[in-house]
Amino acid sequence: MSRQRYTEEFKIEAVKQVTERGHPVAEVAARLGVSGYSLYQWIKRYAKPVEHRQQDADLQAENRRLKAELKRVSEERDILKKATAYFARESD
């Protein structure tokens, strides 16, 4: 079961039909052959100005980077804790 991929331009046009022209989401979704859920997700993403979308994307990228760094640092800390406990037992 492969999912249909839509271009960004298609998504933006679908969102404009809802936000600018005032068509109901269910009607636009049915006419375009997409799910209502997908259209609501597109509205959430593309109803914002381009600058805001870029800012949101930058924040998400920074968040991913920070989570990865936190995971790495936590693993390092855990290794150091185990090494400290090991050497403390050996020196007794």
Pair of tokens at residue 66: 């920070």
pLDDT at 2 over 70: no
Contact 69, 44 (CB under 8 A): no
Burial of 31 from C-beta contacts in 10 A (0-12 / 13-18 / 19+): exposed
Burial of 80 from C-beta contacts in 10 A (0-12 / 13-18 / 19+): exposed
Q: 7-59, pLDDT tens digit by residue?
A: 999 999 999 999 999 999 999 999 999 999 999 999 998 888 888 888 988 99
